[in-house]
Chains A and B, each alone.
Chain A
């Protein structure tokens, strides 16, 4: 019960923050969506970092390290340190400049002007929303799992002992779950909530809290909440690491405990012996996704000046290391013989971190550490919620109804109703069979990465045409859908695209590439070939977007 009270206290604090931000709200949709371009370097750093580091970074990285070993850091964390900052540097600053000059609030508004296409939004919007939904799903699923695991009891002799709630507290459909090894057997408490807050209820509560503070505070509230939550999860993440290392290692000093814990990691988890180097190489394409995240685009536009970007560009790789290194080590320690991971937890890598927190930290510390994990999850959900509403009103409703036909109040109402609808869909999907957070995250990011050639060409290649852009979006969406289906909808975590090569090049006779490499190849080919075959943009557009090279 202690953990639950601390979690509730933390959620209450967030609501107060939203109320505080709402008192500074200027009443305009510009302020609601972009905080009137008033965000300084520190807030921008924290909000961008908090937004990009979701459940994927804490719950996902720990779980993936538990399954695949410490190589997971190189697969996505160190590469993100290089590529994310590259995107902020090359794309973010330029987007901010154009956004400020032309009053853009969303990606699609920029593309509409750059491509001279009023209807690009009708194609791009469903693709972007379709990709944001799995991203939301990661957070919604993980929040339910985390709260459930830390409030659940333990299983002794086939019975649940020490849970927060007795059997029968909640309706049976919330409390009972199926045995994964015997799906035909009737659902039971033992395979369901196990005395913790039922997952569907916990996920619903987190969605509700984030919705409330986003609705109250808009972008300003979101940036404040992001900053607060990023500080919370970074500090508590380090505390989690120290506590777990000390208790797991079981030595007198922290240093000796660290060494004892790492010495027990099996060799296969210390190396990348099961990972083909070419697959590792092509993982590097995944972080390109930040170039096309619509919520990050919106965060870029909130910056007070171009110089505001300097701190995020430099500090982002260091912040990634601070969060990921401890999580990856914790996941590897969990594979050692110092702790027994019960089969249901081992089968669901998303549950490894909350299980360790529950097992190794006391109730009070466990409650705070859980709040830290939830902070990381919610600091991404909020930006995504806000962005979805902005995109719907700005990119779909306004163009269809004609400019200025919606008042500010109506615009906010439409945005909020759309956000609620998308959250409802995501919540519904979260009730289906769970997927590994890491795998789902990689698929979601891969989809955004496959659109990277579009934003790069729009900013740096004057020859990009409207038809080329349409071809790029269709190629990216089509290849993503095709490969995602082939992977059994993320049900096969180690799915690769295999390219046959002579055994002289690779003893396996094939290069095993991440699907993202194929998607980016296809979309790049589409945008290049179709643009070169079609009529270039007008001189007016070229002068507007490439003033130094148009004449």
Chain B
């Protein structure tokens, strides 16, 4: 599978993982202070940063060598 497809699959996975119905009524505290639903979703934020890092590596939408010339600046 091409790396770009893996990245987009990860984005879809993030959206699915975001719907954490399995923690809906769970009131446990992680490390004794962090509600489990909050800890889980903070983890989603970190996973999102990782996924987007991969996206910048493998499916960046613009080739830097094709950067357009700027339109003329007004005086």
Contacts and interface: CB of A to CB of B under 8 A. Distances in A.
Interface string B17-56: 0111100111101011111011011101110110011011
Contacts of A36: 73
Interface string A112-133: 0000000000000000000000
B4 interface: no
B27 to A, nearest CB: 4
A25 to B, nearest CB: 14
Contacts of A82: 11, 14-15, 18, 44, 48
Contact of A97 (B11, B19, B55, B68): B68
B64 A307 contact: yes
Given A281-B19, A306-B64, A321-B42, A270 B35 contact: yes
A78 B44 contact: yes
Contact of A28 (B41, B62, B74): B74
Nearest to A245: B33
B67 A89 contact: no
Contact of B64 (A71, A305, A313): A305
A46 B68 CA distance: 25
A306 B64 CA distance: 7
Interface in A247-292: 255, 258-259, 261-263, 265, 267, 270-273, 277, 280-281, 284
A273 B18 contact: no
Interface in A50-81: 70-71, 73-74, 77-79, 81
A73 B43 CA distance: 11
A317 B52 contact: yes
A77 B72 CA distance: 40
B70 interface: yes
Given A36-B73, A82-B14, A277-B21, A313 B56 contact: yes
Nearest to A75: B41
Contact of B52 (A78, A258, A313, A328): A313
A464 B19 CA distance: 32
B7 to A, nearest CB: 10
Choose among B24, B35, B38, B44 the residue with the greatest number of A CB atoms under 10 Å from its CB: B38
Given A28-B73, A284-B18, A310-B60, A77 B68 contact: no
B1 interface: no
A231 interface: no
Choose among B26, B64, B70 the residue with the greatest number of A CB atoms under 10 Å from its CB: B70
Interface in A13-33: 28-30
A314 interface: yes
A219 interface: no
Contacts of B73: 28, 30, 36
Nearest to A328: B38
B24 A277 contact: yes
B26 to A, nearest CB: 7
B70 to A, nearest CB: 5
A320 interface: yes
Interface stretch (A99-107, A168-176, A465-473): A99-107
B18 A78 contact: yes
Given A85-B52, A408-B75, A77 B41 contact: yes
Choose among A259, A277, A306 the residue with the greatest number of B CB atoms under 10 Å from its CB: A306
A37 interface: yes
Contacts of B26: 271
A280 B21 CA distance: 10
B52 A314 contact: yes
A81 B44 contact: yes
14 contacts: A28-B74, A77-B41, A89-B55, A100-B70, A262-B32, A263-B33, A271-B27, A272-B24, A272-B37, A277-B21, A284-B18, A313-B52, A317-B46, A318-B45
Given A101-B69, A103-B72, A329-B34, 9 more contacts: A28-B73, A70-B38, A73-B42, A259-B32, A259-B33, A271-B25, A314-B52, A318-B49, A321-B46
Interface of B: 11, 14-15, 18-21, 24-27, 29, 31-35, 37-38, 40-42, 44-46, 48-49, 52-53, 55-56, 60-62, 64, 67-75
The 5 closest A-B pairs by CB, nearest first: A103-B71, A101-B68, A321-B45, A317-B48, A78-B41
